[in-house]
Amino acid sequence: MVSVSALAAVGMSMQFMMVINVLMTLYVVGGNALISRFIGQGRKRRASALLYGLGVFAIILSIFVTFGGYFGSEYIYALMGASDDVIAQGSMYFKILSLGIVVIFIDNLLYNALSAAGDTKSSLYIKLASAAINAFLNYVLIFGHYGFEAYGIEGAAYATVIAYCFNVVAYYMLIKKSKSKLNIIPIIRKKDIIRVWNVGWSAALDRGISSLSFLVFVSIITAYGTAELAGYQVGLRIEGIAFMPGFGFAIAAMALVGQNLGANNKDRAYNMGIISGRIAYIFMGSVGVILIVIPEILVSFFTQDTATIEVASYYLILVGLAQIPLAIMFVYSGALRGAGATKTTLLVNVLSLWFLRVVPSYIAYKMGYGIIVIFVIMNVETLLKGLIYWYIYQKREWLNTKV
């Protein structure tokens, strides 16, 4: 069984990856918005050339991130206030992960580009296969099965990097097919890269400030102790099962909205977001019921530590209640990004996360309230943000965004 320190270390690395996602957002969100519009206009060659240019940009950017992650991992964990054992385990994990940053960057680009072009089915199959490979390799490399040495937390990092390598190879083979919705055309159009930047910078700033707020939020939870941190991280990983349909339909909404706006069909663009949202909250609401009913059973697959199970179970019960507003938030914010309205999502996310989550959580911690109150504050923020996005979406002003 994986130790509590290892669980906390891997969980904290998820927060660091959120920061790295900021850099990927620079080219992913703007690329999505522009590629989907090109596809909607029937301009496949222009979209394929943009994909090539963004691929070159992603590779160059990943080199700098690899150096920073590999040589600065211990400092990052220490900055977060982690204990010595968490720092030791986490730095080993993140150094290995950093060496695979280039495939992570390319995977993210290709997944989103194909989804923006409307090929979500192939991406789904690749991701499912990748998840199965990752799970199998975790079992083999962490615990030492089938003749392999037990690498522990390092094995988890190797499994993750190998799974991403599989993704990139699979996407490359898919794109090389003649019937693919996108191809690789070695042309870099500076004008289109600038258009991607004009959309992407506000999305990246949004992600950056949001990631910083999450880091501060996790620091508050870390102050409660290792068991509380591990419980939160385990609960977050389990909740990721509910996230998957939400993310999937958010990407679908982003692509469909962009394509229909490219085809100058605003009513259909609006309706695509509504339909995606309805399906998403049915799926996520159903998973939320499971999180509420059997939280202890779900957590027991990750740890047998009593304190961690208790914290994670409380977390799952509370987030289970918030799955429907979370689905609305995912899909409608995705639709707005697909339309290029990233300045709107920037404003909503920054104000909501800092003034409705981080600041109230810090005050609650200083006043001596327990970890459960922090989880309640988090879910109230999710509910209010879902309502804000619903209001903005209904007004339809975002449909007139220029890209």
Q: Are 55 and 189 in the same domain? A: yes
Judge whether residue 356 has pLDDT over 90: yes
Q: Are 162 and 235 in the same domain? A: no
Three-state DSSP state, 99:
helix
Judge whether residue 317 has pLDDT over 90: yes
Q: Which domain holds residue 232?
A: 223-398
Residue 7: predicted pLDDT: 64
Distance (Å, whole) CA 154 – CA 332: 38
Distance (Å, whole) CA 5 – CA 322: 28
Q: How confident is the model at residue 227 (pLDDT cuts 50, 70, 90)?
A: confident
Domain count, the chain: 2
Judge whether 295 lies within some domain.
yes
Three-state DSSP state, 117:
coil
Cβ count near 197 (within 10 Å): 14
Judge whether 218 lies within some domain.
no
Q: Are 193 and 229 in the same domain? A: no
Distance (Å, whole) CA 270 – CA 183: 29
Between 113-127, 158-172, 271-285, the lowest mean confidence (pLDDT) is in 113-127
pTM greater than the 0.95 cutoff: no
Judge whether 55 lies within some domain.
yes
Average pLDDT over residues 323-329: 91
Q: Are 197 and 227 in the same domain? A: no
Q: Determine contact, residues 138/159, Cβ cutoff 8 Å.
A: yes
Q: Are 381 and 246 in the same domain? A: yes
Packing angle of the helix pair 306-321, 226-262 (nearest 10 deg): 30
Q: Are 29 and 100 in the same domain? A: yes
Judge whether residue 79 has pLDDT over 90: no
Judge whether residue 1 has pLDDT over 60: no
Residue bearing the bigger pLDDT, 368 or 8: 368
Average pLDDT over residues 391-401: 92
- Rounded mean pLDDT of the chain? 86
